[in-house]
Amino acid sequence: MYIEMILKLIQNNNNLDRLHRVLNTSTETNLGTQCNQLKTQLRKALQRQESLQYDLRVYQDQVKRLRNEKDILLEEIERSRVITTSFDDSSASDVESHTSAAGIKRDRLHHESAHINDQSSFVKILGRPNNQVKKRRSQKETNSTHSTKAKKKKDPNAPKGPGNPFFLYCRMERDRIKEESDHDMNLGEMTRILGQEWKSLEPKEKQKYLDLFKKEHDEYEEALRSYTASTENTAEQSSPSEAHSDLVADTPVVDGKSQPKGV
């Protein structure tokens, strides 16, 4: 009886040991599979990270290159602007003076055409068309066209514009740059240094030059108005004398007395 019980216990213990080994083997297999899966995922994540890091370096290099190109282009724009302004600091005043001069010339042509029309009306009232007036009118129009082309030269007495705030800064600081330099600088190098200093100025520091530019611009506007008014007065004074000389030239002399044609 006791022997059978002992044999059953031994058999049950053997079954438990077998079951325990099977469970351990299954657990180890599952853990190994999970570990391999995690290793695969980690390897893919590392590869993805390396790819992203490479793309990031490429994009950073491109951004750096574009920033350098932008700085170079801005310096070239400032340099060309200063060089253009230094060679002709009154480009804006030239345009305005040419505009005002064109207006004065239009007024003068208007006065001349009015006088010519008066002459034609005077001759028509007398009863005979004046061919000489027509001929003289065509000659005067031709001469006025040539004189308009010839008078397109810049008036040295016309007021000159202040340019722009950056040019005003260059004009005030270029002597200091020359004194601080240990060698003779050309125009391009000086312009580059002035452009860099101008960009590094604070808004409060730039405001001083903006105020000076506004003051000079107001003075230029006042001088331009005075110049335009004086030029218009000169044109109005010269137009009647020219028309009077044309009338005298068109009047024939009979027996020592001037008589209009057609009588």
pLDDT computed for residue 136 by the predictor: 58
pTM (global) more than 0.75: no
Element (H, E) at 122: helix 91-126
How many angstroms separate the CA atoms of 72 and 241, rounded?
60
As to burial, measured by CB atoms within 10 angstroms (0-12 exposed, 13-18 middle, 19+ buried), residue 173 is: middle
Between residues 155 and 60, the one the model is more confident about = 60
Q: What percent of the chain has pLDDT over 90?
A: 0
- Residue 224 to residue 206: CA distance in whole angstroms: 27
pLDDT at 175: 84
Residue 90, pLDDT above cutoff 50: no
Nearest to 98 by CA among 161, 162, 152: 152
Q: Which position has the token pair 């202040």?
A: 162
Give the separation between CA 227 and CA 64, rounded to whole angstroms: 52
Instruction: Tell me the backbone φ, ψ of residue 15, rounded to 5 degrees.
Output: -65, -40
- Token readout for 222 is 């006042």
Closest to 232 (Cα-Cα) out of 111, 118, 90, 147: 111
- More confidently predicted of 96 and 81: 81
Q: Fold for domain 160-233?
A: DNA Binding (I), subunit A (1.10.30)
Contact status, residue 224 vs residue 96, Cβ threshold 8 Å: yes
| Mean per-residue pLDDT over the chain, rounded | 69
158 φ, ψ (degrees, to nearest 5): -70, 145
Residue in 81, 223, 93 with CA at minimum distance from that of residue 161: 93
**In this predicted model, what pLDDT tens digit does every residue of 184-232 receive, in sequence order?**
778 888 888 888 888 888 888 888 888 988 888 888 888 888 888 887 7
Helix (H) or strand (E) holding 169, with range, is helix 165-180
Token pair in block for residue 206? 């730039």
pLDDT in tens, 219-263: 888 888 888 888 777 766 665 555 455 544 554 444 444 444 443
- Determine the Cα angle at 225 with ends 220 and 226, to 5°: 100
Cα(59)–Cα(183) distance, integer angstroms: 41
The one-letter code for the residue type at 163 is: G
DSSP sequence for 34-77: HHHHHHHHHHHHHHHHHHHHHHHHHHHHHHHHHHHHHHHHHHHH
